[in-house]
Structures are given as structure tokens and as C-alpha cells.
Amino acid sequence: MICVNCFHGKTKVTNSRSHKKKSGTWRRRQCESCGNVFTTYEKPALDESVTVHYPGAGKNGVRAPFSLSKLTLSIAASFSHDQVARQLHSLPLAETVEQLLITEVRQPSADDIAATVHQVLRRFDELAALQYAAAHGLVETTRKRRGRPSIR
């Protein structure tokens, strides 16, 4: 690993621990050249190991690799009412969704991802959650009674 202080190419791990609540590893490193101590976090990435089934586009649909950047953009689009949240919180929210998918779902489908994003957004910003639900077909538009549309 490269030192974040002097960019020397060799560091040694002085301490390493697994997270108890989420998958990943915390490591304390020390540069062999300047002696600087810094921390790194290692976590699994869905980008390389998981393919998502997207319905439509043919008889069986399409399988594509999970993309954190696409998820971030999708979440950002739901913050049309709050530009600060769009810029500052879209990536951390996408990372939260990714972590939940890693720990709770083995092979997530597009529906699993949409439901998890909606769940996370509801805890963070109710209006963003409603906009996300409307954009991803989570809102039932059939009106059997008066009132607000219901979320599936």
C-alpha cells in the first residue's frame, strides 16, 4: 500500500480487525519510510461479484453487473427538491444500500435494490423516498378510494 503522506511504496500493517456488525476489515498501517500512521478500511464490493437481473428487454430479461455509480445517480435524481442533499448525501446513501444488500441479499434483483433504496430513503428523507418510488414503479396508481397513492 502506498503511504498517504510521502507516497512511499511500502507500508506495514500494525493492527487489523474485522467489523462486528458489517462485512469489512479495519487496518492500521505505518509507512516504512516516514513512519506516518494511517487507517484503511477494506470492504467487499458488489461491482465485481454480483450480477443483477433486470426484467424486460427480451424473454428472460438482462443480467448486468451491479453498478454503485448508477445507483448513486438514481438516488441523486430523487433529490430534485434539495440540491445540497443531492450533492452531499447521494454517494453515502448508495454505499449504505450496497452494504445492506451485501449483508441481507445474496443475489439481488432490480426489485430487491429498489426496495432497499426506498427503505433507506424513507429513513433519510420522506419526499426523496416518494420521488424514488414514483420513478421506479413502487407507487400503485390505481385509485380504488380517495386519498394519497399507496406504496407497495
Kindly state the DSSP code that residue 109 receives in the 8-state scheme.
Answer: B
Query: What was the pLDDT predicted at 62?
Result: 74
Domain assignment present for residue 3? The answer is no
The amino acid present at 65, given as its one-letter code, is P
Claim to verify: residue 72 and residue 21 sit in the same structural domain: no
Number of independent structural domains in the chain: 2
Q: Is the pTM of this model over 0.75?
A: no
| Mean pLDDT in consecutive groups of 10 residues from the start of the chain, 152 residues | 89 88 84 92 70 65 80 94 93 90 78 92 94 85 59 58
Domain assignment present for residue 146? The answer is no
Cell 469489512 belongs to 24
Q: Do residues 52 and 64 touch, judged by C-beta distance below 8 A? A: yes
The helix/strand/coil state of 16 is strand
Distances in Å between the alpha carbon of 19 and those of 23, 124, 142? 6, 24, 45
Q: How many CB atoms lie within 10 A of CB 36?
A: 14
